[in-house]
Amino acid sequence: MRSFHNLLVTGGAGFIGSNFIRYVFGQTGYDGRIINLDALTYAGNPASLDDIAQAVGGRYVFVHGDIRDTALLADVFERYAVDAVCHFAAESHVDRSILAPDDFVQTNVVGTCNLLQAARARGDKLTLFHHISTDEVFGSLGPDGFFSETTPYCPHSPYSASKAASDHFVRAFHDTYGLPVTLTNCSNNYGPYQFPEKLIPLMILNALEGKPLPVYGQGLNVRDWLYVEDHCSAIWTVMTQAAVGSTYCIGGRSELPNIEVVRRICALVDRLAPPLPGGQARETLITHVPDRPGHDARYAIDCSRLEQDFGWKQTVDAAAGFEKTVRWYLEHSAWIETVRSGEYRSWLERNYAHR
C-alpha cells in the first residue's frame, strides 16, 4: 500500500473534490494532511467542507489559489512539503465549454501542465500524481459495447478535448520524466454537493420549484451514472494500490437514458417534497428543448479491470443513489442558496433563457 503525508488536492471545493476530502478523512484511516488548492470559480464553495475543517483541525489546509499561477504552485509544493497530488481542478461543464472554450484550455490543459511541472520539481519527494479524467475523452458509443482502458481517444466537445489533452500530458510526464502518475477515467457522477447546472441537481431543484425541466432533444442519450462516494472509494483504491503509470476506468454499471433519469427524479420529488399547486405531477414540467451541438449518444464503462485487480465494487445503485441525492438537496437549502447566488445566476440568465 502506497502512503502519503501531505496530499495536495486541487479543486477540492468542487463537487467530487469535496466529497473525496470528506471520504478520505472519514473513511480511509488516512492520518496525514490534505492541502485543498482551489480558485473558487462559480463551481467552488469552501463551506462544503466547514464541518471537516472543524473535525480534523490543522490536518486540513485550504489555499485559495489558481493552477494557472506557476509561482503560487511552486510555493505551495515547497511550503507544504507536498508528496502526493490528486488533481480534480477543472472547468467541468460541457455546455459552458461550447459557449466559451478558452477557460477550458487555460485551466484544464495549461493549468494541468503547470501542476505537472511543479510536481516534477519535487523530484523523488513526490510519491504520486493522480489525475482525474472522464469517459468523455473516448467519444460516443453506439447501442452496444463499453469504454475500457484500451479504447482510443476521440473527444467531441471542447470540454472533452481539453480533458483528453490533459490526460496526454500526464502520460507524457510519466514516459518522458518518470513522474509517478496514475489516471482514472470515470462516468457521470451524481450525489451531494453537485453544482446545480448538471442534469440531476438541476432537475431536482427545478422540479421542486415547479420550473420547466429542459431535456435536450428527445432525451434518449445514455449516461452511466456513478454515485460520487463510490467514485471516491475507487480513486483511493487506485491511489494507494495501482502501479505507477497505470490507468483505470470507473463506472456505475447504471446506464439510463436522460428522459428516464428525469422521470425518476420527478417521481422522487413528488413523493418526498410538498406537492405542487393543484397536485400537478412534476413529470408534466418536462420540456424538450433544442439538442446540445455534438451531443454524444451513449457513454458506458467496463470497469472490470478495477474490479478484478482490487475487488472494488459499486455500493450504491441508481435507485438508492437517486433517492439519497434527492433527500440531500431537500435538506440543504442553505448550501443551494449560497451556490446559486452571484455569478452562477447571472451566467444562467445570460445564456439559458429556457431555464
Q: Which residues are catalytic?
A: 135-136, 159
Angle at CA of residue 48, ends 85 and 270, nearest 5°: 125
Q: Which of 7, 8, 9, 13 binds ligand NAD (CB under 6 A)?
A: 13
Any residues with CB less than 8 A from the CB of 326 and at least 6 apart, and which? Answer: 204, 265, 268, 269, 272
Three-class SS string for 110-136?
A: HHHHHHHHHHHCCHHHCCEEEEEEEHH
DSSP characters over 321-339: HHHHHHHHHHH-HHHHHHH
For helices 258-272 and 318-331, give the axis angle rounded to 10 degrees: 50
Query: Which run of H or of E encompasses 208?
Result: helix 199-209
Q: Return d(Cα 239, Cα 23) in angstroms, integer.
A: 14
Contacts (CB under 6 A) with ligand NAD, residues 22-51: 38-41, 43-44
Q: Which of 192, 214, 252, 321 binds ligand TYD (CB under 6 A)?
A: 214
Q: Does 198 bind ligand TYD (CB under 6 A)?
A: yes
What residues does 306 pair with on adjacent strands? none
Q: Does 35 bind ligand TYD (CB under 6 A)?
A: no
Q: Return d(Cα 65, Cα 8) in angstroms, integer.
A: 12
Which one of the spans 113-121, 161-169, 208-216, 336-344 is the region binding ligand TYD (CB under 6 A)? 208-216
Q: How many C-beta neighbours within 10 Å does residue 123 have?
A: 7
Which one of the spans 83-91, 174-182, 211-219, 226-234 is the region binding ligand TYD (CB under 6 A)? 211-219
Residue pair 227/252 in contact (Cβ under 8 Å)? The answer is yes
Residue pair 93/108 in contact (Cβ under 8 Å)? The answer is no
Q: Does 221 bind ligand TYD (CB under 6 A)?
A: yes
Which does residue 41 touch among ligand NAD, ligand TYD, none (CB within 5 to 8 A, set by kind)?
ligand NAD
* Side-chain-side CA neighbours of residue 350 (13 Å): 9
Q: Does 16 bind ligand TYD (CB under 6 A)?
A: no
Site string for ligand TYD, 41-60 (x = CB under 6 A): --------------------
Which one of the spans 11-19, 107-115, 143-151, 194-202 is the region binding ligand TYD (CB under 6 A)? 194-202
Which does residue 229 touch among ligand NAD, ligand TYD, none (CB within 5 to 8 A, set by kind)?
none
**Total of chain residues touching ligand TYD, rule CB under 6 A:** 12
Q: Does 94 bind ligand TYD (CB under 6 A)?
A: yes
Site string for ligand NAD, 57-96 (x = CB under 6 A): ---------xxx-------------------xxxxx----
Q: Is the dihedral of CA 254, 170, 22, 42 positive or negative?
A: negative
Contacts (CB under 6 A) with ligand NAD, residues 171-230: 186, 188-189, 195
Taking CB positions, which residue lies at the least distance from ligand NAD? 14
Shortest Å, Cβ 322 to ligand TYD: 14
Specify the amino acid at residue 92: S
CA-based nearest residue to 3, from 23, 27, 32, 40: 32
- What does the binding site for ligand NAD look like in residue numbers (CB under 6 A)? 10-11, 13-17, 38-41, 43-44, 66-68, 88-92, 107, 111, 132, 134, 163, 186, 188-189, 195
- What does the binding site for ligand TYD look like in residue numbers (CB under 6 A)? 94, 188, 198-199, 202, 214-216, 221, 223, 258, 292
